[in-house]
Amino acid sequence: MEYWNSTLGSGFILMGILNDSLSPELICATITVLYMLALTSNGLLLLAITMDARLHVPMYLLLGQLSLMDLLFTSVVTPKAFMDFLLRENTISFGGCALQMFLALTLGGAEDLLLAFMAYDRYVAICHPLNYMVLMRPRVCWLMVATSWILASFSAIVYTVYTMHYPFCKAREISHLLCEIPPLLKLACADTSRYELMVYVMGVTFLIPPLVAILASYTLILLTVLHMPSSEGRQKALVTCSSHLTVVGMFYGAATFMYVLPSSLHSPKQDNIISVFYTIVTPALNPFIYSLRNKEVMGALRRTLGKYMLWTHS
**Residue that wins the pLDDT comparison between 302 and 217:** 217
Residue 18 — very low, low, confident or very high, per pLDDT cuts 50/70/90?
A: low
Q: What are the pLDDT digits (tens) for 21-70?
A: 667 788 888 888 999 999 999 998 898 888 888 888 898 999 999 999 99
CA atoms of 153 and 240, how far apart (whole Å): 30
| Partners of 14 in beta bridges | 174
Tell me the C-alpha to C-alpha distance, in Å, between residue 293 and each of 176, 197, 249, 287.
34, 42, 19, 9
| Predicted local distance difference test score (pLDDT) of residue 159 | 92
Convert 162-201 to b/e letters by CB count within 10 Å (16 or more is b).
Answer: ebbebebbeebebbbbbbbbbbbbbbbbeebeebbeebee
Query: What tens digit of pLDDT does each residue of 90-142 get?
Result: 888 889 999 999 999 999 999 999 999 999 998 999 889 999 999 999 999 99
pLDDT score for 5: 47
* Predicted TM-score (pTM) of this structure: 0.88
Exposure of 224 by Cβ count < 10 A (0-12 exposed, 13-18 middle, 19+ buried)?
middle
User: Cα 116–121–126 angle (5° rounding)?
Assistant: 125
Contacts (Cβ under 8 Å, ≥6 apart) of 113: 147, 148, 151, 152, 210
For residue 13, the model assigns a pLDDT of 83
Q: Find out whether 270 and 13 touch, Cβ atoms under 8 Å.
A: no
Helices (H), the chain: 17-20, 24-51, 58-87, 94-127, 132-135, 138-164, 181-185, 193-226, 231-259, 268-276, 282-290, 295-313
Asked if 168 contacts 3 with a C-beta cutoff of 8 angstroms, the reply is yes
∠ CA 156-161-164, nearest 5°, is 115
Report the distance separating Cα 88 and Cα 39, nearest Å: 24
State CA 246 to chain mean position distance: 14
Closest CA to 280 of 100, 47, 81, 90: 81
At 253 the pLDDT is 84
The CA–CA distances, whole Å, from 173 to 187, 236, 311 equal 8, 49, 52
**Residues counted in the chain:** 314
